[in-house]
Amino acid sequence: MSISELSIRRPVFATVLALLLLIIGVMSALRLSIREYPDISQPVVSINVNYRGANAAVIETRVTQVIENEVAGLEGVDKLTSQSRDERASINVQFNADRDMDAAANDVRDRVTRIMARLPDEADPPQIQKVDSGSDAVLIAILSSTRRNSLELTDYADRYLVDRLGSVPGVASVNMNGARRYAMRVWLDRTAMAARQIAVTDLEAALRSENIELPAGRIESQQREFSLRTDTSLRTEEDFRSLVVGRGPDGYLVRLGDVATVQLAAENQRSGAATNDGPALLMPVQALSTANVLEVSESIKREIDLIKKTLPEDIKIEVNIDNSVFIRESMKKVVVALAETMSIVLVVIFLFLGSMRATLIPAVTIPVSIFAAALVMAILGYSINTLTLLGAVLAIGLVVDDAIVVLENIVRRIEHKEPPLLAAINGSREIGFAVIATTMVLVAVFLPISYLQGNVGRLFSEFGVSVAAAVVFSAIIALTLTPMMTSKLFAGGIHRGRFASAVDRAFKQLTQSYMNALHWGLAGRRPVLLLSCAGVAAALAISLLVFGMPWNGMRLPQELAPQEDRGRVQVFIQAPEGASLDYTSRQIAQVAEIAYDEVQRGNAPRVISRTGNFNSQAAVDNGMVMLPLNNWGDRPDSAAQIVARLRAKTQDIPGARVVPRTPGGLGGNGKPVAIVLQGPEYQAVAQLADQVMQKAQENPGLANLEMDYQERQPQLRVAIDRNKAADLGVSLNNVGRALETMLGSRVVTTFLMGGDEYNVVLQARDEQRASVNDLSNIYVRSDRTRELVPLASVVSTQETGAASELRRFNRMRSVTVTANLNAGYSLGEALDYMETTVRDLQGNVPVQIDFDGESRELKRSAGGLFITFGFAILIVYLVLAAQFESFVHPLVILAAVPMALTGALFGLWLFGSSINIFSQIGAIMLVGIASKNGILIVEFANQLRDRGRQFVEATIEAAGARLRPVLMTTLATAVGAVPLMIASGAGAESRQSIGATVFFGSVFAVALTLIVVPALYVLIARNTRSPQYLSRIIDKLRGSQTTQVPEEGDPAPQASPLG
């Protein structure tokens, strides 16, 4: 007894099974986390080493290379990058996505521990941290005040806001940009110090030894006990001024206030932030990579609403940039598309069947299959995201297919006067093989997607598995609930109204015309058959040319993902190397003034700017202007139009490079073009990179070309005469410490204020560190004579230019050339051009080419998806061969695939879209969508041949009988993609790409399949048999009468060696 017959005999069982799937699926869906995309963050472990006094070249050879060589051999390392700057080395070890973060971090710690003895003694111990590479700012809150300065505002945020926002569930960290934290700034007067014979080391020693709190025991008596506390710490400006730091030449006490100005001021003034309303404090809040971004955003905003009630009157906090808005709007659009698709599909089914009762049966399949798939997603730890929702939209057209096929076959038998119960049993048995075959084919198509490598593989694994699960559950429903409901709803037979009768008559006329056309075409055989073969060859050629041939100049543009309007525009500003904070701030203010025009146009509510970075030691020659845009329907221009206008207005700003762009989605926030040149020497690689940049400047498709190696940073090289230093008793350590403290600032101790701890920072006065001569007038103490010695006696200086950073990529010295893309120029075209340019200019320079960021992912995904596409076709072919017990039938069935791809390419061209991961996934889907039509025709033709029909007549009758289900299932899939194809609003570009691919691919496939599949079947399948043929022979030999043995004169007497 088949499962269909069991369900018909036990209708309550079938109903309960469907209800259980629906209920458990709904419960599972409610527990799934919500994100924009699946978690594609890769484990990244950072290693940072501070080495005071060392320049970038020394850092690279003595620290960076030593660490890289040790950690490179770790299991699962995907990418190893490093930056060597003056006094600091930063190494990032990026692991494969399947590597456990904690295990990776432990392995890195073990390896670094092994080489600690090989690092310079003067270097600080390496700091090893886990980096959440998938985290991004969920939102940016802006804190401002009408009365308080930046110091007071930062202190308030540190005390009352940062920890409070950081405690919200799902928040990873809360940063501050433009922060000015309190510190006790000790501005040293070198002239006063020299006059009083006080050296830098004297001040540091005094501050460390005198600013302490020590336990002093207890006083115990018979009645009471006291604990003693020796309060010797320094707390106020006056306490520090009064601190004795030494004795002068005449023995008098020298206090800190005699040789320095002590002031409670900002520890760091190397960053700033502002809006068009004035100075502000930016507070980006980052979420954990595993958190539900929408929930985290809402929780933060609720917490901010509570904070507003307790804020002082002069302080205001607002959420100015909320990245969850794009995610929410994008997913809302997909949910709307889901509802629209369901409605459109049901309307199409009703138009084809002409009956509300008949439409109800496949309608039940949709929610049960979609929600049942959520059960599988919950078990595998997947999330509800844009891709799984897109999968649900596209799955609607697929999950109704099996129910439609079963329903149509049962109804057809009822119309031939078979009792409804028997019609349900026999009809479901007759079509069961085709249902299982199509389901296995679709699963075989989608599951290989989950084996793609890299971030693209992780992105689409959830998509592929969720769609495959929905298709499997739809087959279960089609073979259980659908036959049962059909037997119940049509127990009294088929009673058609006017509309249903008209629909039926129209389809009968269409079917008869179609069969007549097949009779005409297949009777003479050759013209149509040759035309069919030529059509397959031409379609295949077009597909290969556009998808795979790099020399084809007419192919569609290629990129990782469509550039989306994410509701934000960013303008990056890079001042010349070595520019001061004031200079950079003026450039940023000029760009912000230009950007304010977009506020007046109604595109944005405000302009936000920041100078510098979160790292207080980072260069201050860069910054950014941000435009949070109004909602998509509330502004006249798109983000791309705004970027184009800003680019035109800012390209001629003197003294700075200005790069407007929209933030990335899948590709990240860096420039899309990033080609890495690697070689043994920086100078040779940099020279080639400079030539490549000059050549690339001629390409109108590229904009804002940069490379990360520039020997333009003004540098004062200090040479120490070791012989003189030794003769005068001056240690190199004292020289380095004096330079660092006087010119670079040095944290020597801390103090308490209001219950919080703050740094004490020593640095020379501004006017005493403004010129080269100031360096020579610093004094150090001789270890031999204890007298002060001017640095001019032991050092000499030379002004040079140097690279601000030395970068390495996968253990090789590297220079990266980056660029933005102008409108109409794709990333694929840009990478091909850059690679060709490098090869043309390379000559004998030993350079290797690699890629980073979005370019790296595109290179990975392009090859991976192409291989996966071929693998999907191979798997489908083998699955069909196993099911049909023939190597010929799958060739007939798969003939529609090249035509579907041709339609997909036409759709992408028509919509001005590109070949990207969304359209490529749609193309892979088309393998299954196009194949199922051929399965219906070939499988029924085999059945008719088994019943004794003549070969050509069986082919024509099978095509005619399956015309209605083929048209219904294909159009259901195609119209299901229409809401995606005509999408608008947040994330519309990606939805349009996959929608156009599926719609036009499905339409082309069905239009040509109905002619090509019967023609090829007649041409190459004449000598094949059905899968049951050998079983009947064996049964006959055994004397079994359970099956009918073909009589002599069967139309297919000889079996092909391939069949």
Contacts by 763-766, CB closer than 8 A, 24 or more apart: 763/185, 763/186, 763/187, 763/188, 764/187, 764/188, 764/190, 765/187, 765/188, 765/189, 765/261, 766/187
**Does residue 303 lie within any of the structural domains?**
no
- DSSP code of 867? H
Identity of the highest mean pLDDT range in 341-355, 789-803, 804-818: 804-818
Measured CA distances, 508 to 161, 352, 685, 917 (Å): 73, 12, 73, 42
pLDDT (tens digit per residue) in 929-968:
788 778 878 878 887 887 778 888 888 888 888 787 788 7
> What's residue 496's pLDDT?
60
Quote the crossing angle between the two packed helices 917-946 and 420-446, to the nearest 10°: 140
Instruction: Please give the Cα distance from 673 to 833 (Å, whole number).
Output: 11
Which candidate, 395, 391, 412, 401, places its Cα nearest to that of 436? 401
Q: What confidence score (pLDDT) does residue 901 get?
A: 81
Does residue 1042 sit within a domain? no
Helix (H) or strand (E) holding 753: strand 746-753
pLDDT band (50, 70, 90) for residue 23: very high
Residues 705, 580 share a domain:
yes
- Would the pLDDT of 1043 be above 70? no
Task: For 690-710, give the secondary structure using H, E and C.
Answer: HHHHHHHCCCCCEEEEEECCC
354 with 968: CB under 8 angstroms?
no
pLDDT band, very low/low/confident/very high, at 492 (cuts 50, 70, 90): low
Distance CA 730, CA 76 (A): 49
Least Cα distance to 968 among 536, 518, 503, 515 occurs for 503
**Cβ–Cβ < 8 Å for 52, 740:** yes
Q: What is the DSSP letter of 426?
A: H
Confidence of residue 256 (pLDDT cuts 50, 70, 90): confident
Residue 1052: pLDDT band with limits 50, 70, 90: very low
Q: How many DSSP H helices and E strands does the chain contain?
A: 35, 31
Element (H, E) at 449: none
Residue 948 DSSP label = T
Q: Is the dihedral of CA 824, 829, 834, 839 positive or negative?
A: negative
Domain termination residue (choose one: 848, 879, 906): 848
pLDDT at position 805 is 79
Average pLDDT, the chain: 79
Task: Please report whether residue 506 resides in a domain.
Answer: yes
Residues 57 and 8 in one domain: no
Residues 579, 549 share a domain: no
Q: Name the least confident of 270-279, 704-713, 739-748, 1034-1043.
A: 1034-1043
**Mean pLDDT to the nearest integer, 306-335:** 84
What confidence score (pLDDT) does residue 854 get?
Answer: 79
Alpha carbon distance 74, 96 (integer Å): 11
Q: What is the CA radius of gyration of the chain?
A: 37
Residue that wins the pLDDT comparison between 670 and 429 = 429
Angle at 104 between CA 103 and CA 107, to 5 degrees: 85
CB 830 within 8 A of CB 760: no
Same domain, 524 and 651: no
Residue with tokens 């060589």: 69
Residues 181 and 270: beta-carbon distance below 8 Å: no
What confidence score (pLDDT) does residue 531 get?
59
Which one has a higher pLDDT value, 300 or 984? 300
In a domain? residue 639: yes
Residue 963 CB coordination number (10 Å): 18
Q: Is the pLDDT of residue 24 over 70?
A: yes
Give the domain-ending residue among 848, 877, 910: 848
Cα torsion at 1040, 1043, 1045, 1050 (round to 10°)? -170
Residues paired with residue 707 on neighbouring β-strands, in sequence order: 817
Contact 291, 34 (CB under 8 A): no
Q: Residue 1050: what pLDDT?
A: 47
Q: Is 1037 exposed, middle or buried (0-12, 13-18, 19+ CB in 10 A)?
A: exposed
| Residue 25 dihedral angles phi and psi, to the nearest 5° | -65, -40
What pLDDT is recorded for position 621? 74
What pLDDT is recorded for position 914? 76
- Are residues 1013 and 930 in contact, defined by beta-carbon separation less than 8 angstroms? no
The DSSP symbol for 632 reads G
Contact 174, 160 (CB under 8 A): no
678: left (phi over 0), alpha (psi -120 to 50) or beta: beta
Amino acid making up residue 485? M
Average pLDDT over every residue of 469-497: 80
Residue type present at position 928: G
Beta strands in 462-620 (DSSP E): 568-574, 608-611
Residue that is written with structure tokens 């320079």 in the block:
845
For the segment 550-555, the average pLDDT, to the nearest whole number, is: 44
**Do the domain assignments include residue 586?**
yes
Q: What is the pLDDT of residue 1058?
A: 37
Same domain for 958 and 919, yes or no, is yes
Of the candidates 720, 828, 821, 820, the one whose C-alpha atom is nearest the C-alpha of residue 778 is 720
SS3 748: strand
- Output phi, psi for 754, to 5 deg: 65, 25
Whether the per-residue pLDDT at 552 is higher than 50: the answer is no
d(CA 271, CA 144): 16
**Is pLDDT of 669 > 60?**
no
Kindly report the CA angle at 237 between 235 and 241, in degrees rounded to 5? 110
Q: Which H/E stretch holds residue 801?
A: strand 795-802
757: Cβ contacts below 8 Å, ≥ 6 apart: 750, 751
pLDDT tops 50 at residue 548: no
In a domain? residue 51: yes
The reply to whether 440 falls in a domain is yes
Question: How are strands ordered across the β-sheet holding 182-188?
Answer: 260-266, 182-188, 756-764, 746-753
pLDDT band at 98 (very low <50, low <70, confident <90, very high): confident
Q: Which CATH number do you get for residue 442?
A: 1.20.1640.10
**Sign of the CA dihedral with 18 first, then 21, 27, and 31 last:** negative
617 and 660 housed in the same domain:
yes
Write out pLDDT tens, residues 769-796: 777 777 777 888 887 788 888 877 777 7
pLDDT in tens, 428-477: 887 777 788 778 877 877 766 666 666 667 777 788 888 888 888 888 88
CATH number for the domain spanning 639: value is 3.30.70.1430
> Quick one: 731 and 702 in the same domain?
no
Match 């048209």 to its residue by tokens.
Answer: 967
pLDDT on residue 266: 81
Both 227 and 200 in one domain: the answer is yes
Those residues whose C-beta lies under 8 Å from the C-beta of residue 605, and which sit 6 or more positions away, are: 320, 599, 628, 630
User: Smallest Cα–Cα separation from 385: which of 323, 459, 287?
Assistant: 459
882 and 736 part of one domain: no
* pLDDT for the residue numbered 454: 62
Contacts of 746 (CB under 8 A, 6+ apart): 204, 737, 740, 761, 762, 763
Are 969 and 911 part of one and the same domain?
yes
Token pair for 15: 């109903």
Residue 500 lies in a domain: yes
State how far the Cα of 180 lies from the Cα of 186, in Å rounded to an integer. Answer: 16
Tokens of 352: 């084809």
User: Per-residue pLDDT averaged across 287-314, rounded?
Assistant: 85
pLDDT band at 1029 (very low <50, low <70, confident <90, very high): low
How many angstroms separate the CA atoms of 787 and 793, rounded? Answer: 13
pLDDT digits (tens, 9 = 90+) for 365-406: 888 888 898 898 888 888 888 888 888 887 887 788 778 878
**Residue written as tokens 């390495």?**
808
| % of the chain at pLDDT higher than 90 | 1
Check residues 564 and 996 and name the one with the higher pLDDT.
996
- Domain tally for the chain? 4
Q: Domain residues for 498?
A: 3-36+327-559+858-1037
Considering the domain architecture, whether residues 686 and 729 belong to the same structural domain is answered as: no
868-899 core/surface letters (b: 16 or more CB in 10 A; e: else): bbebbbebbbebbbebbbbbbbbbbbbbbbbb
Note whether 222 and 94 are same-domain residues. Answer: no
Enumerate the β-bridge partners of residue 715: 800
Q: What was the pLDDT predicted at 494?
A: 62
**How many other C-beta atoms lie within 10 A of the C-beta of residue 739?**
19
Please determine, for residue 915, whether its predicted confidence score (pLDDT) is greater than 50: yes
* CA pseudo-torsion sign 513, 518, 521, 524: negative
